[in-house]
Amino acid sequence: MRYGVIGTGWIAKSFIDGARMLCNADFAAVYSRTTESGNKFASKNNISEVFTDINEFANGNFDAVYIASPNKLHFEQSKLMLESGKHVICEKPITVEPEELEELQSLAKQNGLIYVEAIMYMFNPARELLKNALKKIGRITSVHFDFSQLSSKYPAYLAGTLPNIFNPALATGCLMDLGIYCVYPALDLFGIPQKITACAHFMESGADGSGNSAFLYGDKLVNLTYSKLGQDRLGSQIFGDEGTITVESISKLTNIKLIDNNGNSTEIIGDVIKEKLMGYEAQAFERFIGNPDDPYYQTVCERALQVSKAMKEIRDLSGITFG
């Protein structure tokens, strides 16, 4: 598969490395706002062509685009790529608004193209292992998913600058960056909740620095917590009346254990490098391009829309807005 890349941050490099590791991926072009940044990224990642005009890039000689720009740009850039006949894999959150996602899912379908969210959870083989483990802990009534990671950009913010991740104008902040990793497994494992409650803590920039939401089901309560202002050391837990599942990283689904009520622990999965998890995203994307009728593609599209709608509801309940 010949790819073009939008965005020159570290995550774009991880995707390229992962796709090269697990697929026969050829990264042919990169779009950057500046020649300098584009050239630097291209030489570091062995990419031959650099574009600084997005319309020229859209007509480049490649079949698929990986988008890793700030969230606010995902919709317009994905739209342009889909209109230009490119398959699109776009970083999470795939769009800001669910209506935008519906529009682009329809556009992709009309144009015979594949359009997916680059979210590790949905393409991670550990997802099935986790689903199987859930069957072994009895009746589940309580769940706590946490993704709290002290931002590497926080010192710069405290020093008086405004990093993109804390700039509401770019539709970033904690829920959009980290909370989404809790929303995905909640909806995927337990379905659509009867009720959602949510609140957030706001930084002076207006971005949500941390927050929580609770998903209420008829038979269980799923609590989601997320923060960019402090570091989690305990991970996530799913409580059943016959045992507990602990998950060190809810985004990567790594270091998962099942602990029975006597305290006996069984490892479900250990550590996996991030590049490999991103390689799984590329593998599935390429499989869908080869077979658009793959039933898992429908699941991935439906789940993305459910997550986008739940994220919108959490934003509305928490008062999170983007300027």
Could you give the CA distance from residue 143 to residue 178 in angstroms, rounded to a whole number? Answer: 17
39 binds ligand NAP (CB under 6 A): no
C-alpha 53, offset from chain centre: 27
Residue whose beta carbon is closest to ligand NAP: 9
Look up tokens 């995902």; give the residue.
Answer: 74
9 binds ligand NAP (CB under 6 A): yes
CB of 94 closer than 8 Å to CB of 108? no
Pairing of strands 265-269, 254-260: antiparallel
7 binds ligand NAP (CB under 6 A): yes
For the bound state, the minimum distance from the C-beta of residue 131 to ligand NAP, rounded and expressed in Å, comes to: 22
Through-space distance between the first and last CA atoms of the chain, rounded to whole angstroms: 37
For the bound state, the minimum distance from the C-beta of residue 110 to ligand NAP, rounded and expressed in Å, comes to: 25
Residue placing its CB nearer to ligand NAP in the complex, 133 or 183: 183
Binding segment for ligand NAP (CB under 6 A), chosen from 30-38, 76-84, 97-105, 285-293, is: 30-38
* 176 HSE (CA, 13 A, CB side): 28
Query: How many residues does the structure list for the chain?
Result: 323
CB of 113 closer than 8 Å to CB of 83? no
Q: 267-270 long-range contacts, Cβ below 8 Å, gap at least 24? A: 268/126, 268/129, 268/130, 268/133, 269/126, 269/129
144 binds ligand NAP (CB under 6 A): no
Could you give the CA distance from residue 3 to residue 232 in angstroms, rounded to a whole number? Answer: 35
Question: Residue 6 carries which side chain, given as an amino acid letter?
Answer: I
Site for ligand NAP (CB under 6 A): which residue of 3, 23, 32, 157? 32
For the bound state, the minimum distance from the C-beta of residue 10 to ligand NAP, rounded and expressed in Å, comes to: 7
The residues in 40-99 that bind ligand NAP, with binding defined as CB under 6 A, are: 68-71, 73, 91-92
Site for ligand NAP (CB under 6 A): which residue of 8, 148, 236, 318? 8
The residues in 162-191 that bind ligand NAP, with binding defined as CB under 6 A, are: 164, 177
Residue placing its CB nearer to ligand NAP in the complex, 229 or 259: 229
CB of 198 closer than 8 Å to CB of 211? yes
Binding-site size for ligand NAP (CB under 6 A) equals: 17
212 binds ligand NAP (CB under 6 A): no
Q: Name the site residues for ligand NAP (rule: CB under 6 A).
A: 7-9, 11, 32-34, 37, 68-71, 73, 91-92, 164, 177
